[in-house]
Structure 1
Amino acid sequence: METIVVLVFVFGYLAITLEHSLKIDKLIPALVMMAISWGLISLGLDHFSEWFDSGAHALVDGFADLGHEEKRVLLEETLLHHLGKTAEILVFLLGAMTIVEIIDYFNGFATIKDFVKTRSKRKILWIFSFLAFILSAIIDNLTATIVLISILQKIVKDRDVRLWYAGLIIIAANAGGAWSPIGDVTTTMLWIGNKVSTGHLIGYLFVPSLICMVIPSFIASFLPVFKGELSVTEEEVTEVKSKFSSTMLYLGLGAIIFVPIFKVITHLPPYVGMMLSLGVVAIFAEIYSNTKFSMTEVDSHESDEHADHSPVHHSLSKIELPSILFFLGILLAVAALESLGILFEFASTLEETMPMLGTELHHSGVSDIVVLLLGVASAVIDNVPLVAASLGMFHQPMDDELWHFIAYSAGTGGSMLIIGSAAGVVAMGMEKINFFWYLKKISWLALVGFLAGAFMFMFTRTLF
């Protein structure tokens, strides 16, 4: 039965990887394999010899000798545990996405165009690289990519040149997302899972991530495509609500930055702080839109009319719900493998068979090669299930250097292929970037940056 569950996961994973070839949204195989995996576990519960207790991070003693009802109770408790942990991530993401959409409702990101005052292609490259690096750490790399490419489309009219900028934005956004607890879904997973803390994450990864962004941008700045100047055209923002653009931008970004601070002060899960931040931003959004609105009055005719111009209703309708459902499916599917002890056994095998690299520098018990391979793999397949699997495979304590290296590798390794990260996929859709064009022109830059940052991490971790 365990073999069947693994095969279901493998075929589901393959369908996710081949999303663009199969023309099937990746949320569909994720949800299907999740439901089938848990269904098989429920039907074959009495035939499994091991069970992994996620709370205790250890196999349950004497599981095979337990009665059917005891195993059933353990199954339900385990599923509820994983649903709770997954819901923490999903609610957090929903809040963050809604705040970003509220900012966009007021055209807040148009304020960022004020940073671009030059016509030099090389200077614009550095401006967008640093903007992507910083912005992705605050509003996540996916959203930062969408925002910056949208701005790029308004100021760089030559599509051939714009594709190069988009490629470097992907690298910079993924690098920026790696060192922030709210910058990338995988980093957020590690943070919410109490594997990394905000202070140590920034301390460990800021410099390696910066190197991962700077090296490719530095090399690219000498390429012929970034020589000379381009015509910069600024479009006037004519919407009446644009007078609140700057206010809502700084309020929204400040509210998101406040979330880690709230967690440190209260020791509550991050989604609680995110809901507080969303509530505050929503209050100002409603005031600025000159409307009176109760978020609970969804059945009244007045509320239906209000939904057309309410920034909160509008923003909630714009969030990426397919992404939320994908995370739900993939995280619970990985949890199924974890519960059967499969990931635990796989991790033990890795630790025994893989050569140790740099053991004199660290004591995590896991080879640097394993983590680097995880980064390379994240360019081919989605990094969310890879990190979810690592949470079940490795059981080092909080803020162990292993978790920070995983955060770096999974976050930045995806830049090596256009399909390797959410930022790359969205850029691919917005600019119709060809897979092989990216592979030929950008991938080698991403690889150089990834390796440079990894070596920097191996050096700087000795300082902690």
Structure 2
Amino acid sequence: MPEILQYVLIGLAVAALLGVVLEEITHINKAKVTLFFGTFAWMLLFIFSPEGAERDLVLESLNENIAEIAGLWIFLVAAMTFVAYLNKKGLIENLIYLVLPKQISERQLLFLTATFCFVFSSLADNITATLVSITLIMSLKLSAEKTIKYAALVVFAVNSGGVALITGDVTTLMIFLAGKVQILQLLLLALPAFLAVMLLAAMLSLGMNGQVVVESHRTDVRRVDIAIALIFLGTILCTIAGNFFFQIPPVLTFLTGLSIMFLVARFFSDDIETDPILEYVRQVEFETLLFFLGILLLVGMLKEINVLDGLVQIYDQVPAVVANYLMGILSAAIDNVPLTAALLKSGLEMGIAEWMVLTYAVGVGGSLLVIGSAAGIVAMSKVPGLTFGSYLKYSLYLFIAFNLGFAGVYLTGLVVAGSLG
């Protein structure tokens, strides 16, 4: 491989990263940017690799990369289809208004919002959880300043809730699929992560003493919708139990649950031409999936040319827990998906406590800046006045909450490591 090609490929990866960071300025969707650079980089690898053993190695690496991406994709499509159906049928919205009273204090609303975002984002993807939560906040017609405060809480709570279940955050799923943590070990992250969210809600509630009137917008729920909601929850529980007792891959369990969803819809005669159940697959956030595809292709390319070795050197200079903390801070500026993929591809070796704390750090660290996570970007696009600067006003509160969660997760990880030892 020509030496100049390595610099060209690194340049393509940097260009893709800049495309993600500057999406709001260039107005070019990050999925399109990363997919182009990811595929183009591999094309160059094939073109400039000598025919024979070296090109065969490139093909082997690409096939391995594609297989990993396919597993991630299929799992996310299955999970997102469930959520797309329940959201379209109004079941999620009904559940929110069932819990909310007609009148509630602003302080109580903060804690209820935090709890809902945390729980819901464990089950759904971060983008859906943020959209639903922000839509609720906007419907309450609060002042601009208070709406921004609630939005900051939503971003942190959504990202925190996602770290404890593989259905909630892509980076958590990636670390799990790499065999670094077990499902039950991930569930232990929920308590310290939730405490951090409650601390942030408490800090944001200072000085808030107004009342909020909630106007209900409930819709009719059919038996088939309730049945599919129960299938979704059952699929999550079976995923946890099946993996723990029988090592069944989560993607297989979720595909089974999805097939049951389709059959149940047909049993209720709901799978009709005017509303075919398979149409809900089309409502999955395929832009997000294409972004992951492009990013993971780029990271696989960087591994192929041995660039990721430099990332691991940080772990040689400082203790792993410190390096993980720095990765969490770094994820506020760099998307956590490529960052996590790079660490996993680099062959990094750590103990269970360190992998647990890395899961939390890269999952929640993006909340420190509004541009650091998909939840932040979605919130910024939906809430008038929510900008980089207005979000930064709450950076101290966010930083304190992140540190509490990080410390709690690390102590939990040490207890788990001790019990295993």
TM-score (normalizing by structure 2): 0.91
CA distance in 2 between counterparts of 1:411 and 1:438 reads 22
Paired positions, count: 410
Aligned partner of 2:238 among 251, 254, 258: 258
Aligned partner of 1:90 among 73, 80, 83: 73
Query: Is 1:450–2:419 an aligned residue pair?
Result: no
Identity %: 26
Aligned partner of 1:355 among 302, 312, 318: 318
CA distance in 2 between counterparts of 1:436 and 1:71 reads 46
CA displacement at 1:440 relative to structure 2 = 3.3
CA distance in 2 between counterparts of 1:268 and 1:77 reads 26
For structure 1, which segment, 29-38 or 430-439, has the greater mean C-alpha deviation from structure 2 after superposition?
Answer: 430-439
CA displacement at 1:244 relative to structure 2 = 5.1
Q: What is the SS of the residue equivalent to 1:380?
A: coil
Q: What is the SS of the residue equivalent to 1:230?
A: strand
Hey, what does 2:30 align to over in structure 1?
26
Q: Is contact 2:299–2:341 with CA below 8 Å preserved after alignment?
A: yes
CA distance in 1 between counterparts of 2:107 and 2:271 reads 48
Hey, what does 1:381 align to over in structure 2?
334
CA displacement at 1:264 relative to structure 2 = 3.0
Hey, what does 2:282 align to over in structure 1?
317
Q: CA RMSD in A?
A: 2.1
Aligned partner of 2:259 among 279, 298, 308: 279
The aligned amino acid for 2:335 is D
Aligned partner of 2:382 among 430, 442, 450: 430
Given the superposition, is the C-alpha separation of residues 140 and 28 from structure 1 closer, same or farther in structure 2, using an over 3 Å criterion?
closer
Aligned partner of 1:390 among 343, 361, 381: 343
Query: Is 1:164–2:164 an aligned residue pair?
Result: no
* CA-to-aligned-CA distance 1:404-426 (integer Å, 9 cap, x gap): 12111111011111121111111
Q: Is contact 1:185–1:384 with CA below 8 Å preserved after alignment?
A: yes
Greater Rg over alpha carbons, structure: 1
* CA-to-aligned-CA distance 1:155-204 (integer Å, 9 cap, x gap): 4554543332222111111111112222101111111222211111222x
Given the superposition, is the C-alpha separation of residues 119 and 98 from structure 1 closer, same or farther in structure 2, using an over 3 Å criterion?
same
Given the superposition, is the C-alpha separation of residues 45 and 170 from structure 1 closer, same or farther in structure 2, using an over 3 Å criterion?
same
CA displacement at 1:433 relative to structure 2 = 4.5
The aligned amino acid for 2:278 is V
The aligned amino acid for 1:390 is L
Q: Is contact 2:357–2:413 with CA below 8 Å preserved after alignment?
A: no
Q: Which sections of structure 2, spanning at least 5 residues, go unmatched? A: 417-421
Q: What is the SS of the residue equivalent to 2:372?
A: coil
Hey, what does 1:232 align to over in structure 2?
214
Query: Is 1:371–2:324 an aligned residue pair?
Result: yes
Q: What is the SS of the residue equivalent to 1:227?
A: coil
Given the superposition, is the C-alpha separation of residues 236 and 268 from structure 1 closer, same or farther in structure 2, using an over 3 Å criterion?
closer
CA displacement at 1:246 relative to structure 2 = 4.4
Hey, what does 1:180 align to over in structure 2?
165
Q: Is contact 1:113–1:151 with CA below 8 Å preserved after alignment?
A: no
CA distance in 2 between counterparts of 1:15 and 1:36 reads 15
CA distance in 1 between counterparts of 2:177 and 2:154 reads 27
* CA-to-aligned-CA distance 1:432-452 (integer Å, 9 cap, x gap): 342235433333222111112
Hey, what does 2:419 align to over in structure 1?
none
TM-score (normalizing by structure 1): 0.83
Q: What is the SS of the residue equivalent to 2:282?
A: helix
1:25-424 equivalence runs, <5 A = 25-46=29-50, 68-109=51-92, 110-117=94-101, 118-203=103-188, 205-222=189-206, 224=207, 226-237=208-219, 239=220, 241-242=221-222, 245-288=225-268, 290-292=269-271, 306=273, 308-313=274-279, 315-343=280-308, 345-352=309-316, 354-356=317-319, 366=320, 368-396=321-349, 400-424=352-376
Q: What is the SS of the residue equivalent to 1:325?
A: helix
Given the superposition, is the C-alpha separation of residues 292 and 355 from structure 1 closer, same or farther in structure 2, using an over 3 Å criterion?
closer
CA distance in 1 between counterparts of 2:133 and 2:75 reads 23
The aligned amino acid for 2:29 is D
Q: Is contact 1:102–1:285 with CA below 8 Å preserved after alignment?
A: no
Q: What is the SS of the residue equivalent to 2:288?
A: helix
